[in-house]
């Protein structure tokens, strides 16, 4: 937690985060704004953290946002009591309903629905495309535009990698992130020596390098990439794609939920055959006017929508 010296009187939004990784990296950026307080349950939940939560709950105007994926972790397990404790309570679901189903967590969707029905709890999501998806399970969801500060520039030379990303070690996430699809695509086109799966060192994908990297090293690899590929089976919002858009790296992505909001221009594909065709085109025409136009559109779209100020302002619009 980076709020120990914070003037709590300025706080309007309390963010509770169980997930040490992409979600905490995203939400922690809001800490530069004095009205946003971020408290994590890792590395451990101290008495001081609990004291701050209790103190903030006395302010009936505070909006408490629990960031969740359905994993039964510390703050998530307290959602029923938090809903009673705070006048304005939100659960920000950073995954799609399909993610819940793949992870066999339909019961968690049902418990969230029950909580929303009996209390003041509202549901937040990172993409408009997910509104209909969650509505099928009886959940009315409010989209929040995610955003980051980003001032890195892409290297114009030495483009050598073809990358995909999977940060989790569990095999179920390899399936969710479509790493099996990526592997087949790479093997079929004999591109193994150029391919890297970034996130965690793993020996599951014979012939394709895997590498655990920091955020800075991830951006270094991405900036030196010919193309970023993510053939996920489900996504809520792909933050790696945001970085690729800012670095003007071509993106090939599955045509699913969050990608439709996230990757408005360029190459969303439905089949591996389509992915092969697009990848061949990108590799053989890296300087084509068509490709450069797509990269520029993606860049401008990201600079317009996916900013930290827009992320902050989406919360300001909450009732």
- Say what angle helices 215-223 and 239-246 make with each other, to 10 degrees: 50
- What does the pLDDT look like over 249-289, one tens digit per residue? 999 999 999 999 999 998 999 999 999 999 999 999 999 99
Instruction: Delimit the domains of the chain by residue range.
Output: 8-144, 161-305
pLDDT above 70 (res 156):
no
Structure tokens that stand for 247 in this block: 């670095």
pLDDT above 80 (res 310):
yes
- What does the pLDDT look like over 228-256, one tens digit per residue? 999 999 999 999 999 999 999 999 999 99
Percent of the chain whose pLDDT exceeds 90: 86
Give me the CATH topology for the region 8-144.
Rossmann fold (3.40.50)
For the chain, the average pLDDT equals: 93
How far apart are the C-alpha atoms of 297 and 23, rounded to whole Å? 26
Q: Is-contact 235 257, C-beta < 8 A?
A: yes
Tell whether omega for the bond before 43 is within 30 degrees of 0, i.e. cis: yes
When pLDDT is cut at 50, 70 and 90, the band that residue 6 belongs to is low
- What does the pLDDT look like over 182-234, one tens digit per residue? 999 999 999 999 999 998 877 667 779 999 998 889 999 999 999 999 999 99
Give me the CATH topology for the region 161-305.
Rossmann fold (3.40.50)
When pLDDT is cut at 50, 70 and 90, the band that residue 75 belongs to is very high
């Amino acid at each position: 937690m980076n709020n120990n010296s914070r003037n709590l009187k300025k706080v309007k939004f309390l963010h509770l985060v169980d997930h040490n990784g992409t979600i905490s990296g995203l939400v922690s950026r809001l800490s530069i704004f004095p009205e946003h307080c971020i408290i994590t349950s890792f590395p451990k939940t101290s008495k001081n953290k609990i004291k701050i939560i209790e103190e903030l709950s006395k302010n009936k105007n505070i909006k408490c946002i629990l960031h969740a994926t359905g994993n039964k972790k510390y703050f998530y397990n307290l959602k029923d009591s938090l809903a009673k404790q705070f006048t304005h309570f939100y659960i920000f679901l950073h995954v799609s309903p399909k993610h819940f189903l793949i992870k066999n967590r339909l019961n968690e969707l049902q418990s969230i629905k029950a909580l929303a029905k009996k209390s003041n709890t509202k549901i937040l999501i990172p993409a408009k495309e997910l509104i209909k998806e969650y509505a099928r399970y009886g959940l009315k969801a409010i989209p929040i535009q995610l955003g980051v500060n980003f001032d890195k520039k892409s290297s114009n030379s030495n483009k050598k990698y073809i990358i995909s990303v999977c940060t989790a070690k569990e095999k179920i996430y390899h399936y969710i992130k479509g790493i099996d699809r990526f592997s087949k695509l790479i093997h079929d086109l004999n591109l193994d020596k150029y391919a890297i799966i970034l996130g965690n060192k793993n020996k599951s994908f014979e012939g394709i390098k895997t590498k655990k990297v920091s955020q800075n090293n991830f951006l270094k690899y991405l900036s030196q990439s010919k193309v970023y590929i993510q053939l996920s089976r489900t996504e809520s919002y792909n933050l790696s794609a945001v970085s690729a858009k800012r670095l003007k790296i071509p993106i090939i992505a599955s045509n699913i939920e969050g990608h439709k909001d996230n990757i408005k221009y360029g190459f969303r594909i439905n089949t591996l055959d389509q992915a092969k065709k697009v990848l061949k085109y990108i590799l053989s025409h890296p300087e084509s006017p068509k490709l450069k136009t797509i990269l520029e559109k993606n860049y401008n779209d990201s600079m317009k929508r996916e900013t930290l100020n827009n992320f902050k302002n989406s919360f300001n619009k909450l009732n």
